[in-house]
Amino acid sequence: MDVFHQLGVEIDQCNSCGGVWLDRDEWKALTRSRGADAVQLEVVQLTPTEFICPRCGDKLQEGQHSQHADFVIEHCKRCGGGFFDRGEMSRLLAR
């Protein structure tokens, strides 16, 4: 994974697919400047996947964003991180 910074937050980007990984508190750090308009990251209707968490090695689960069901996010229940497909994080932040 390549690392880049946005608004002071370290973001890991997959070299092959362009998706991004955010650790548990990195999403909050990206959206905290919005105050009450911050987009919360709550993933619901989780189902198991074969994908492995890049942080802790546990299997990721896939689910929908609680407020925007058109976003499917791979989430790690153990460490709280999440994987966004290419362009998905930017589209969610734009809401």
- Res 76: pLDDT: 95
Which residue segment(s) compose the domain that 11 sits in? 2-93
Dump pLDDT digits (tens) for 16-58: 999 999 998 888 888 776 777 767 778 999 999 999 999 999 9
Count of the separate structural domains present in the chain:
1
pTM here is: 0.84
- Res 17: pLDDT: 93
- Res 67: pLDDT: 85
Mean pLDDT of 67-71: 87
Q: Give residue 88's Cα distance to chain centre.
A: 9
